[in-house]
Structure 1
C-alpha cells in the first residue's frame, strides 16, 4: 500500500510540475447509464489524497438515472441514509484537459480495489470478471471501435442539424465513405485524435462512415481489459468536449437519424494463456466455436447492456450492418459476432451488437462472460451466416422484455453478480418508465 501511494504521489507531483497553471482536477467515474460523475478537487488536495487521505463520494451516485435522478431500487437511495463509499485514484489516468476555457486536469476514480467495493459499480463488475478469468489462466486482449456523429452546435427546435462542411459551409448531408470528408473535417478530427492521445488513449484508424457527419475511431489492442474500457469511456468525454470547442456537437447516441445508420460500439476480443498462446486457435479452432456459442446463448439476456436505452433499440435492424437476431459469421458484418480474417496468433471475435452509447465496462464484462460460459459449456454454435443467411436466434427488442430476460438469467446472476443484475435491471426499468411519462407532440397530432 505504501509503494502504491508513493507512485500516485509521484504522478501527482509530476503533473503539477509539468502543468503549473492547472489549479483544479476533475475526479470522475462512470455511472450505470454511462455518464461521468465526480468532484472537482484543488490540485493540492489531490496530492493529499494520493498520499493516503480518504476519498469518499456518495455510493448512490452510481445509481443515477440517465437524466440524473434517483430511483428507489431496493433499499438504495431512500432507505439507506445515502452513505458515502470509498474511492481510489486510478494510477496513470491523471491528464490535462485541453477543451475547457481554463486549464484543468482529470483523473479516474473507482471503488474497485477498495476495502468495500460497490458491487454495482461498472468498473468493479468488469474487474471481477477479469480477475476470475486471470485465475483460470485466461488473459483477454481487447480493442474498442466507436462510431459517433458530428452535428451543428445549434439545435433547431431541439432537433440536431447536419454538421456544416468547413470547406463549403454547406450541410454535410451526403452520406458516403469518401476519404475527402476526413480532409474537410480534419481540424476537429485531428484535435480529437491528439486530445485522446494526450489522455493516454491509443488511437489508430479514423474512418468516415456512411451517415452524414458520422465517423469511427479505432483504438489499439490492449492486454488490460480495464484500461481498454477506460479508454472508451474517456474518449467519449474528450470527443464531446473537443467538438464543442470547434463549433460542433459530438454524440454517441445510437440512432440520431432514422434514415441513416446508427452508431455502434464494436469490441474485438482475443484470449491468450500465460505463455501467449491464442486459446481460441487451439485444436483446429474448436474453442473459438465454443466461445461463439456461449456469446450467442447469453446475448438475448444481455440486451439491456448492449442496448441501454429506448433509442438504442431503434438501431437494431433496418439500415446497414445492425443485426436483428443473435448470429455469427466469418467476415460478415451482418452478424452480431463476426470472425475477422486473421492468422492464428490474432484470431479473435468482433462483437458488433452494442450501441455506441452503451457502458463500455459492462459491454466488455458481458462479452467476456459469454466467452467464458462458452469455453466451459463446450457446445457447438448454430450455423454461421456464411452457410445459412436465415441462421440466428431471437432476442428482445423492447426494454421491459429485455430486462425480464436479463434479471432471470442464472448464469449472468452468477458471473456478473446477482446484486449488480438486480440493481442494473431496476435502473433500466425505471429509466424506461420515466421516458414514457412525457406526452410527445406526435400523440396530440394523432389523437387529439
Structure 2
C-alpha cells in the first residue's frame, strides 16, 4: 500500500472512530454549472476505496446542465457510450455533515491526479493551471469572499420572500449594512460559520451587506489554490443546508432582486516566487501593472465563466460597486480589479466581477491565466479609474455573444485548454437556449 492510500485509510478510520453513528458518506464533485454530483457510499466500502479499490463515476456527470439534463456536446453524452471515468478521494476532506437529520459524512472526489483525468472537470482545469504556474516559479496565494441572500423558507407565487427578523417577526426588507442585523440573525449565521469550520474551512469575517437579508463571508488566505476553491464550493453547500435547518433559504444567485444589489464572488490573489517574495511588488510595482493588463485583456473573453447564466448577466447592470466595463483602480470598488491598500509583502489584486453562483475553480483558473499572460507580455494597462473615471474595456453582456468571444480567443484556449473551452462554451450555449424556451407573462402582456 502506498503512502497516499495509507494516509487516506487512516483518515477514514479516524473519522469512523470519532463518529461511530455515521453509516454513509457522500462522495461529491463539482460539475460545470457549479452543482455537486456524486454517490452515497456505505462507510465500510469507503475504507476499501481508501485502500486502493477503484472509484468510478460516469464521465458525463461533469457535463450536466443547470437543470441536470445532458446536452449533445461533440461526441460526448450521446455518441460515446456514457463511459465511466476514474475518480480519487481528496485527502483531508472527509468531514461530518452537520445539517442533515441523520448522521452523515461527505468527502470530495476528483479525476485530477488519476491516470485519466477529465480535461473539462473544473477542479482538473484549475489543477493544470496551478501546475503550469508552479513550473514557472509562480505560486498564488488566494482568498475568496462570497455574498449571499437569506430568504424566507416559503416562496410566494414562485418568488422569494424577505427573511423574517427573528426579533420582530417582520420581513427584513430594509436595505442597510447595520451591524445589528448580524445580531438579529446571529443564530443562523453563527451556525453557518461553525458548520463551515467543521468542514475545515477558515471562515472569518461576516458582514451585513446592503441588500435585505444579504450577507458576506470572508475566508482566510491560502497558498493552495485548489483548497481555496474547495472552501468556496463547500461553503455554498453547507450554507444552504444550515439555512433550511433554521427555516430559511440561502441562495448565491447573482441577482435575486432586480432593485437590490446582486451577490458577488470576490477573489484576492497575490503571486510569490519560491523564496516567498511578492512578485507583484517587484520593480516598483511594474509587475503588478503587467498582471493587471493581462487580466483586463483576458476578462472580456471569460464572461461565460464570471457570469455563467442569464441571471448573472443581470447583476452587471450598473448597480452599486459592480463594474460594467473591464477596469482597475487602487482602493476603488467600482473597478473589476481593485488593488487594496497594503504593504509590499501583501500586495494583491481583488477580482470583483464574478457572480456568487460562478464556479470557483473556473473563476480562479481564468484569473490566473490572465495574470500569467500579463506577466509574460509585460504590457502596461489602460488608465486606472483613479486617473480616468471613464477608463475601461467593453465586455459582452449577452450569453451567446459571450460564448462566441470565449470560444474564439486563442490565448484563453491555450491557457485553459482548447477541449475544455469548447466543451464549456457548448454547455453554456445550450443551457442558455434551453432557458429561453419559455414564454413569460410579460411577453403575453406586451405582444399578444
Inter-partner Cα distance in structure 2 for 1:148 and 1:123: 23
* 1:96 aligned counterpart, secondary structure: strand
Residue aligning to 1:108: 108
Q: Map 1:178-327; keep pairs closer than 5 Å.
A: 178-327=178-327
1:407 matches 2:410: no
Residue aligning to 1:65: 65
Shift of 1:317: 2.6
Residue aligning to 2:11: 11
* 1:124 aligned counterpart, secondary structure: helix
Shift of 1:255: 0.2
Inter-partner Cα distance in structure 1 for 2:417 and 2:307: 20
Inter-partner Cα distance in structure 2 for 1:269 and 1:279: 11
Shift of 1:182: 0.1
* 1:216 aligned counterpart, secondary structure: strand
1:447 matches 2:447: yes
Deviations 1:233-286 (A, max 9, x none): 000000000000000000000000010000000000000011100000000000
Deviations 1:151-199 (A, max 9, x none): 0000001100000000000000000000000000000000000000000
Shift of 1:319: 1.4
Gaps of 5+ in 1: none
Q: Map 1:311-390; keep pairs closer than 5 Å.
A: 311-390=311-390
Shift of 1:37: 0.2
In the alignment of these two chains, the number of paired residues is: 448
Inter-partner Cα distance in structure 1 for 2:54 and 2:392: 50
Inter-partner Cα distance in structure 2 for 1:318 and 1:5: 51
Shift of 1:444: 1.4
Gaps of 5+ in 2: none
Shift of 1:318: 2.6
Inter-partner Cα distance in structure 2 for 1:432 and 1:98: 35
* 2:386 aligned counterpart, secondary structure: coil
* 2:108 aligned counterpart, secondary structure: strand
* 2:25 aligned counterpart, secondary structure: strand
Inter-partner Cα distance in structure 1 for 2:343 and 2:126: 28
Shift of 1:51: 0.2
Inter-partner Cα distance in structure 2 for 1:220 and 1:182: 20
Residue aligning to 2:56: 56
Shift of 1:439: 1.1
Shift of 1:79: 0.1
Inter-partner Cα distance in structure 2 for 1:99 and 1:383: 48
Inter-partner Cα distance in structure 1 for 2:337 and 2:366: 13
Residue aligning to 1:137: 137
Residue aligning to 1:419: 419
Query: TM-score if structure 1 supplies the norm length?
Result: 1.00
Inter-partner Cα distance in structure 1 for 2:331 and 2:205: 19
Residue aligning to 2:177: 177
User: Following superposition, which runs of at least 4 residues in structure 1 exceed 4 angstroms of deviation?
Assistant: none
Inter-partner Cα distance in structure 2 for 1:137 and 1:393: 30
Inter-partner Cα distance in structure 2 for 1:444 and 1:41: 48
Query: TM-score if structure 2 supplies the norm length?
Result: 1.00
Shift of 1:442: 1.3
Deviations 1:81-136 (A, max 9, x none): 00000000000000000100100000000000000100000000000000000000
Inter-partner Cα distance in structure 1 for 2:57 and 2:439: 35
Deviations 1:358-387 (A, max 9, x none): 000000000000000000000000000000
Shift of 1:441: 1.4
* 1:350 aligned counterpart, secondary structure: strand
User: Once superposed, what is the RMSD of the aligned Cα atoms?
Assistant: 0.5
Inter-partner Cα distance in structure 2 for 1:259 and 1:167: 26
Inter-partner Cα distance in structure 2 for 1:442 and 1:62: 34
Inter-partner Cα distance in structure 2 for 1:447 and 1:336: 37
Inter-partner Cα distance in structure 1 for 2:430 and 2:379: 36
Inter-partner Cα distance in structure 2 for 1:443 and 1:303: 27
